[in-house]
Amino acid sequence: MKKIQMVDLKSQYEGIKEEVNKSLQEILESSAFINGPQVHAFQASLEQYLGVKHVIPCANGTDALQIAMMGLGLKPGDEVITADFTFAATVEVIGLLQLTPVLVDVDADTFNISIDALKKAITPKTKAIVPVHLFGQVANMEEIMKVAKEHNLYVIEDNAQGIGATYTYTDGSKAKTGTIGHVGATSFFPSKNLGCYGDGGAIFTNDDELAHILRGIVNHGMYERYHHDVIGVNSRLDSMQAAVLNAKLPRLDMYNAARRNAAKQYSTALANHPNVVTPKIEGDEYSHVFHQYTLRIVGADRNALMAHLQAKGIPCAIYYPIPLHSQKAYLDVRYKEEDFTVTNQLVQEVLSLPMHSELDEEQIQFITDEIKAFLG
């Protein structure tokens, strides 16, 4: 059996090696490291893949979120609602821009922002909602957009874990995640579903005016060379990262299908186990791209199971061990523990198993056998 890894970028590279090596070599020869033709090609291909009017490449997913918020003109004191159970980047940029983060609880079934908690958190100061498509499962976008419209709020989708997922509306129409809100942000960090070989990110929008604003912000607030109209940042996707993404984007659906197959095999093997809650897929199968395959371990010692698996050479991880509302940097007197019962419970129960496009049946069989052997 091949050594089990949480993420296996090396095996994936074997499948695109010639193409990637050739493009990287071309960039080395041309020296067009920044703003090369690979960046423009990637932007156009991603716009087409997502069915969105504008993709603005940038340096990483955290920047993408920050630039999106800057582009929307959010001002210090504006409240931005996001999920308590997610990676810190989301809340970090809200704080950096001196906006007021308002963390709310999530749903235990989907790990995504709770619509009830969201509604309760809205005040006259609320200006935006940042749903996160956590672990690759689309958030309930139809409800979120409805709430946003009612209260005149912007929606910024954190699509760092959801790229390639498709949301299906109740009327049957479909849209790719990241293109449903006013603006979407994603990350091309190597381990993401569409990852480059360093840092990268992008912002998506269908709004022409916002796209124009965003393009200036990523480039020092310049709309005309050396005319700085607004305070911007320096945030670029470089040519080499774009070259890697150009090789991977045409394979993204295939990679995501492989992740879904692995998830299906995991869930079948662990179905109906009294101590295991397998991930629930809300919507059709395309609504989940399994950035992570995350179990809930109930009525058993999650940490001991994790130690057992690691001792057997099976990597696994807790995403995320501490709710954001309990993190030192984001403490707020307004938060009450009883408002975060689900997140507080999830951090005790979640366990993410190896998940990537190269996982094979033998490996999954071994992993699930070991889980069942430990739990009994």
Ligand X SMILES: *Cc1c(COP(=O)(O)O)cnc(C)c1O
Per annotation, catalytic residue among 127, 176, 192, 248:
192
Residues whose CB falls within 8 Å of the CB of residue 265, separated by 6 or more in sequence, listed in order: 361, 364, 365, 368
Least distance (Å) from ligand X to the CB of residue 172?
28
Considering only residues 207 to 246 of the shown chain, the ones binding ligand X according to CB under 6 A are none
Q: Which amino acid is at 150?
A: E
Least distance (Å) from ligand X to the CB of residue 160?
3
Residue 206 CA to residue 242 CA, distance in Å, equals 22
Annotate 115-158 with DSSP letters as a single string.
HHHHHHH--TTEEEEE-B-GGGBPP-HHHHHHHHHHHT-EEEEE
How do strand 201-205 and strand 183-187 relate by DSSP bridges?
Answer: antiparallel
Structure tokens given for 153: 């709020």
Least distance (Å) from ligand X to the CB of residue 97?
15
Considering only residues 86 to 145 of the shown chain, the ones binding ligand X according to CB under 6 A are 86-87, 89-90, 132
Q: Based on the residue annotation, tell me whether 192 is a catalytic residue of this protein.
A: yes
> Helices 37-50 and 239-248: crossing angle, nearest 10°?
40
Considering only residues 28 to 87 of the shown chain, the ones binding ligand X according to CB under 6 A are 60-62, 86-87
Q: Select 61 or 216, whichever has its Cβ closest to ligand X.
A: 61
Residue 188 CA to residue 159 CA, distance in Å, equals 10
Residue 37 CA to residue 8 CA, distance in Å, equals 29
Nearest residue to ligand X, scored by beta-carbon proximity: 61
167 part of the interface to ligand X, by CB under 6 A: no
Q: Select 188 or 266, whichever has its Cβ closest to ligand X.
A: 188
343 part of the interface to ligand X, by CB under 6 A: no
Least distance (Å) from ligand X to the CB of residue 269?
27
Q: How many residues bind ligand X (CB under 6 A)?
A: 15
Least distance (Å) from ligand X to the CB of residue 235?
10
Binding-site member from 101, 131, 195, 201 for ligand X (CB under 6 A): 201
189 part of the interface to ligand X, by CB under 6 A: yes
Q: Select 43 or 90, whichever has its Cβ closest to ligand X.
A: 90
Q: Select 83 or 247, whichever has its Cβ closest to ligand X.
A: 83
Q: Which stretch binds ligand X (CB under 6 A): 105-113, 156-164, 240-248, 302-310?
A: 156-164
168: three-class secondary structure by DSSP: strand
Q: Select 89 or 141, whichever has its Cβ closest to ligand X.
A: 89
Residue 81 CA to residue 332 CA, distance in Å, equals 14
Residues whose CB falls within 8 Å of the CB of residue 16, separated by 6 or more in sequence, listed in order: 247, 248, 251
Least distance (Å) from ligand X to the CB of residue 179?
17
* C-alpha closest to that of 56 among 179, 171, 166, 214: 214
The residue with tokens 């071994």 is 366
Residues with a known catalytic role: 192
Positions in the binding site for ligand X (CB under 6 A)? 60-62, 86-87, 89-90, 132, 158, 160-161, 187, 189, 199, 201
